[in-house]
Amino acid sequence: MIEPDGSADPAILVSDLTLGYPAHAGGAPYNAVEGIGFEVRRGEVRALLGESGSGKSTLMRFLAGHAADGGDRGARIRVQSGDATVLGVPMRRARKRQLTRLTARVGFLAQGSAATLPAELNVGDILMQPITERTKHFDRGELGEQIAEMMDILGLPLSKLQEYPYELSKGQRQRVAVIRSLMLTPSLYLADEPTLGVDALGRPGIVELFRWYRERTGATMMLVSHDIAMLEALVEQVLVMQEGCLVGAGNINEIFRHEDHLYVQQLARALRATAYDEIAE
């Protein structure tokens, strides 16, 4: 197990944060996140919930240091007010070099990562790419053993290492993307819909992989998911967003059963009524 860094500071500290997008492609400026604040302690697994368009993916991308990537809107995320500190780095004032170092410590699985796997590489090279892009000095045998163990947990035959993304099902591509996002052994892991496109038989493997990873590393995790089984297996504390605002926070069982906010109750019922809202392959 990798030893934690011993810092008493929270892994994530968000204070009165408002995030927006500039006018883009004929659209008006838009705030996706409005004045939210919370903290995530080191070693904690926290869930971020909310309906589509509530600001979850924008917040996750910003916290992961990917504000410049633009995401689906194709524009850079801008801090309108407040700030967030991630692993001791103030995101609003962070320079490019700081963000480069931070992204080596923060694993990020963006929603739709399975669709952006490099088409020209086979699965083995895709999984090694995060390592080879950062260093020439690594133990290939040790990494090979780690990849083999992760593939086994997710039910992926080792023969898949020689295949290319177009040869895989949607669910297999998602599982490859999950492994790839963990290859740098991040101490903070942010995953946006990690079971997206994975069928009911494959989802427990992702839960087991996250458990395995936390046992090895003690990593902090923040998960966006509609998979209620995953949430109940891994998460104790929940944040709930609606239209960019934080409208609920607390223990997953308490907030779903006793929260007075109508939206939180409706969201809880929707999660429990449907196993998943994605048609999986």
- Please report whether residue 188 resides in a domain: yes
Residue 30 in this model has a pLDDT that exceeds 90: no
Do the domain assignments include residue 187?
A: yes
Assign 3-class secondary structure to 79-145: EEEEEEEECCEECCCCCHHHHHHHHHHEEEECCCHHHHCCCCCCHHHHHHHHHHCCCCCCCHHHHHH
Could you tell me if residue 1 is inside a domain? no
280 within some domain: no
Q: Is residue 279 situated within a structural domain?
A: no
Q: Tell whether 16 is covered by a domain.
A: yes
Say if 19 falls within a structural domain.
Answer: yes
Report yes or no on 167 lying in a domain.
yes
For residue 167, pLDDT beyond 80:
yes
Domain extent for 105: 12-273
Q: What is the mean pLDDT of residues 156-166?
A: 98
What is the model's pLDDT at position 279? 37
- Whether residue 194 is predicted with pLDDT greater than 90 in this model: the reply is yes
pLDDT confidence band for 80 (50 / 70 / 90) = very high
**pTM (predicted TM-score):** 0.89
Confidence of residue 233 (pLDDT cuts 50, 70, 90): very high
Condensed to tens digits (0 to 9), the pLDDT of residues 40-75 reads 999 999 999 988 899 999 999 999 999 877 655 557
For residue range 196-206, list pLDDT tens digits in order.
999 999 999 99
Q: Which residues are registered as beta bridge partners of 19?
A: 33, 79
Break the chain down into helix, strand, coil percent, rounded to 5. 40, 25, 35
How many domains does the structure of the chain reveal? Answer: 1
CATH number, domain of 258, equals 3.40.50.300
